[in-house]
Structure 1
Amino acid sequence: MLTIIVLTFLAVLAWAIVREHGKAPRKDGKRLSQAPGALPFIGYTARLLQPRYKLLDHLAHVQAETGLKTFEIPSPFLPPTILISDPVCLEYVFREHEIFAKGTFFRSRMYDLFGMSKVKAISGAAKLEIKGNGILNASGSLWHSQRKAGVKFLSIANVARFSNETLPPLIEDMHQQLGAADSNGGTIDLQDILLNLMSKFFGLVAYDTVPSADLVRAFDEASAWTDSRFMNPFWRLYEALFGQSLRRALQTVKEFGHKVVTKASEKASVPGRETLLDLLLERIPDKDTVADAATTYMSAGRDTTAQAMTWSLYELSRSPEVLGALLENLQPHATTTRSGTLRTTDSHLSYIKAAFAEALRLNPSVPLIMRETSQECTLPDGTILQPGTIVVWAPYAMARSPAVWSKDAGDFKPERWLSYDASGHATFMPRSASEYPVFHGGPRICIGKSMAEVVGCQVLAELVLNWDFEVVDKEGRRHVGESLTAPMAGGLVVRPRRRI
């Protein structure tokens, strides 16, 4: 019996390999080389099923050893898939974004959380009826409508208003939480503190409401389940058997979306102070579509910025010299508020921008990204791709590639972002999106880039000026958790001490 099962399994693998062979990526008249570490028959399947940080570390090793070479990532359970690491190829992908779209493979795994759905109550149970796609899944006119609303919402004037009006009271609350832990000699999880801060901040500016703790937990759980679909070829079966908690989490997220949209549609917006919902309702007539579009922004608006700040504080805790240089840069620009809190008078200081960018380089908010070809095309390095090919790049791995970032690519070094004049004045020098794909690039570049940088640097400056953090567990490296974004597994537990 066991022999029959094994032979059947191998037959299925062989059929899948033969089926996809004609669609395989090619270069110089031959099938593209497989990425190092591929196993016979199953290819990269075993690596895809292991914890994500192990896959990321493996891809970083491959790119460090092989330079900018493009490889096939083989698996009988996946469409033809390639890994790119050359910024020239990535620039082509960004520029030709209509060719490299979020195709069936991506959308089929993301639709529950980021697709458009209508919640219907049937015999007391929730049923989701899929209608379309949120901005992370969308294309065409629907994508343009959502993007225009987001661009207006995240204008320079609005980001400045959010930073000056909405954020400071939330930062004061954060200082009080840290002060309580300091007073009793306790510990506190900085990642939780920052996620809570950004949940309130983004909820207020985007939805005019503070998301509940239950909603935040539900969104995090749904995000983790959704992420696992990209690595588990048997996800449909697994969720059918064990996905009750996912279905409950999705229902909570959908109900929140409909609740806030109903509230927004029933009140008049204030000109010049519109929420994200107000702007979406102006452009999209269907409230169900707006509800899902609005919750789609939560992952980009809340998770990524909070996680970027967490990783920044972690990198600073491991680099006393960098922390000292940052303090030296911030202190001349600090003023004291009525509560005794130090606050910087300039949120665009070069060194803190460099430290934040460097932490994001090493710990990108989305460490692994994929697209799907909609037509035959040829990459700048000569790789020929057929329609339906999955194109993968790993910002996490590219950040550690000596071919992209020189021999010290793995070091936390904010100075790589700075240019100094003869008087020693530092100017922040951005890198191209194809070298630093943290915020994507091309026409689909992240519209929240400016807000993430302004808010991230503002909160980091407050924390660094006012607090010294002793990381409780200093042993070993921190790893990325299982999610669509890049949370720190286990959080960042510290003992805060007020800085004198």
Structure 2
Amino acid sequence: MLGRERPEYIAMVKHAPDSLPLLGNAIQFLKPRHVLFDWFVKCQQKFGRETFEISVPSLPPGVVINSPEVLEYVLKNEAAITKGEFFRDRSWDLFGYGIINASGELWRAQRKAGLKFFSGTNLDIMIEEVLPEIYHESTRASLSQAAEGRSVVDLQKIFHDLTTTVVGHMAYDMEIDATSPFSKAFDHASSQIGLRFQNPLYSITEFFTGSSFRASLREVKRFGRQIVSEARKRRAQEAFESLITNTDEEETELMQQRQQPENNEGSGLGFGTLIDSLIEALGNPKIVADAALNFLSAGRDTTAQSLTWTFYALLRHPEALKRVREEIDLKFDVKPSDKQSFSSSAMTNSDSDEEDVNINVSDLQPTNLPYTMAVFYESLRLYPPVPFEIKQTTQPVTLPDGTSLPAGAVVVWCIWALNRSFSTFGEDAQSFRPERWLEVPSPASHVDSETDSDTHVNTAAHKPSLRFTGSKHSVGEFPVFNGGPRSCLGKKMAELMGAWTLMRMLREWEFEEVNDGLNMDSSSGERRSANSLTLPMEGGLPVRVTRRRRRV
């Protein structure tokens, strides 16, 4: 740290490797993102669960935490350890007053609006109506065209199109296209915001080279204003029509519905679009626009990227892909009530399957698709959609491991590295192994489960059913969905959308990765992530698609 006395806490923790006099760890933070993540993994393996110091000139004093206990403490103590000025100064131009930056009453109002939107009813609507419609009208059409033309298609773009359209429809009652000027501008702005956290001189470099970044920010903000403007016009029109057509009894019923007590997370009645809840909770159009953009980013980007990395992992691990397909086929193709309708030697081409089975939320629960959900979680572990988190102390704090931090200190944890911890996930923590999320129930529980008509996994083969154990790790051990007051509102939506998309696409299509050797980490042979606040795959995931033929 230059130009000031080193805080006392530094004597209590170890120093990061590769530190240089005066420069500290600045060189590491200037390296490409995937190299920086590898450095955090190296540090995690060196220090285990110990806290260690990082220092970069011009930045606040900081530590990296690796202990699950310490991380849970940080996540729970929102008042003492919050986003802070360090994060807000770098992210403000993009996220503004939105929930990612907000604190206090402004944050609580936005979270309350989010809770209303992520209701059980809205999740039912998404799975039973919105996703199937958008998949058939857009996603399936794109894959069919690629299959017929033997052309290469980018799965990351496919998933981005799908999630953007779903979130636009459900949250904002708008048609939003992932190829629109807004989407491209947001992706560019997000990548530039990500660079700010690695470049302590970003304000200087952006002064000379930031014209395209500033143009992207203008487009993003314009679109945020458009979301609010269209919603307010729609609400005014609906209010006018209601005034003309509703009887006194109908108006009273509507008022009673609005005054109903709030429901818990993930349950209760549907409350319409998210933008309606934000307008009612926040009022100020500028704040509403920022909030809407924050939720849009979280809803479309992280889920699309999670699906991209999950398919990438499956294509690299054919045995896991085979097991997922077997589980999906058993659940959705050969139900006991359906067996008589199929010839024992028949082959079905998925192109004739367009009517599909009716899927509801209960079909997609981990109890029904344990291996599929284990694959999804293992992909989230190795490729977390938010790989890096930063908070800042608002007052002097002593962490559970004894580390004392002054007010204004930066607290960092690298989820990418934590999810590769040998202490938590064993010596094979670097390997893709979905089985780590599964267990075989005891014989007694297996006998009980066979009487349940919903039980399906492997019972046809007289093998014990598998049980998904996603909650076996604490939030501190597996912080992909955050924790404490800021735990992920969209966790259930992401799980359901992930399971539905895996089920639908793997039943119908075969995929072959097109590997041109570009965008690869030369040391690991793995695909690299692009620079962003989240984890997009650099260069996308190009594949060839063919229709799947399966025996039923």
Instruction: Assess same fold via TM > 0.5.
Output: yes
Q: Which residue does 2:288 correspond to in 1?
A: 290
Q: Which residue does 2:242 correspond to in 1?
A: none
Deviation by residue 1:258-313 (Cα, 9 ceiling, x = unmatched):
11111111223797451111001111121111011101112210000000000000
Secondary structure of 2:100's aligned partner = coil
Cα distance in structure 1, aligned partners of 2:282 and 2:104: 14
Deviation by residue 1:456-485 (Cα, 9 ceiling, x = unmatched):
111111122211111110752101110110
> How big is the alpha-carbon RMSD for the aligned residues of Structure 1 and Structure 2?
1.7
Deviation by residue 1:81-118 (Cα, 9 ceiling, x = unmatched):
11111101101101112111011111001111101xxx
Q: Which residue does 1:442 correspond to in 2?
A: 484
**1:493 maps to amino acid:** P
Q: Which residue does 2:212 correspond to in 1?
A: 245
Q: Which residue does 1:12 correspond to in 2?
A: none
**1:235–1:18 Cα change, 3 Å:** closer
Which residue among 345, 361, 375 is the counterpart of 2:395?
Answer: 375
Q: Which residue does 2:508 correspond to in 1?
A: 466
Secondary structure of 1:232's aligned partner = coil
Contact 2:128–2:359 (8 Å) recurs in 1:
no
Q: Which residue does 1:152 correspond to in 2?
A: 116
Report deviation, 1:51: 0.8
Q: Which residue does 1:493 correspond to in 2?
A: 542
Q: Which residue does 1:453 correspond to in 2?
A: 495
Q: Which residue does 2:467 correspond to in 1?
A: 427
Cα distance in structure 2, aligned partners of 1:474 and 1:326: 27
Q: Which residue does 1:192 correspond to in 2?
A: 157
Contact 1:341–1:466 (8 Å) recurs in 2:
no
Q: Which residue does 1:70 correspond to in 2?
A: 51
Contact 1:330–1:344 (8 Å) recurs in 2:
no
Q: Which residue does 2:418 correspond to in 1?
A: 398
2:4 aligned with 1:19: yes
Cα distance in structure 2, aligned partners of 1:162 and 1:181: 26
Which residue among 261, 267, 272 is the counterpart of 1:274?
Answer: 272
Q: Which residue does 2:172 correspond to in 1?
A: 207
Identical columns (%): 41
Deviation by residue 1:232-272 (Cα, 9 ceiling, x = unmatched):
11111111111111111111111111111111112237974
Contact 2:529–2:538 (8 Å) recurs in 1:
yes
For normalisation by structure 2, the TM-score amounts to: 0.81
Name stretches of at least 5 consecutive residues in structure 1 with no aligned partner.
1-15, 116-132
Secondary structure of 1:17's aligned partner = coil
Secondary structure of 2:197's aligned partner = coil
Cα distance in structure 2, aligned partners of 1:394 and 1:99: 20
Secondary structure of 1:408's aligned partner = coil
For normalisation by structure 1, the TM-score amounts to: 0.90
Which residue among 46, 50, 64 is the counterpart of 1:83?
Answer: 64
Which residue among 317, 320, 336 is the counterpart of 1:319?
Answer: 317
2:162 aligned with 1:162: no
**1:24–1:107 Cα change, 3 Å:** farther
2:187 aligned with 1:220: yes
Cα distance in structure 1, aligned partners of 2:211 and 2:26: 26
Q: Which residue does 1:93 correspond to in 2?
A: 74
Cα distance in structure 1, aligned partners of 2:423 and 2:357: 41
Secondary structure of 2:15's aligned partner = coil
Name stretches of at least 5 consecutive residues in structure 2 with no aligned partner.
239-253, 258-269, 334-349, 447-463, 518-524
Report deviation, 1:406: 0.9
**1:134 maps to amino acid:** G
Cα distance in structure 2, aligned partners of 1:474 and 1:412: 22
Cα distance in structure 2, aligned partners of 1:104 and 1:229: 13
Q: Which residue does 2:145 correspond to in 1?
A: 180
Cα distance in structure 1, aligned partners of 2:320 and 2:502: 14
**2:372 maps to amino acid:** I
The structure 1 segments of at least 4 consecutive aligned residues displaced by more than 4 Å after TM superposition are 269-273, 335-338, 340-345
2:354 aligned with 1:339: yes
**1:387–1:138 Cα change, 3 Å:** same
Deviation by residue 1:333-389 (Cα, 9 ceiling, x = unmatched):
225886265776621221111111110010001111110011111111111111111
Cα distance in structure 1, aligned partners of 2:395 and 2:47: 28
Secondary structure of 2:412's aligned partner = strand
**1:469–1:344 Cα change, 3 Å:** farther
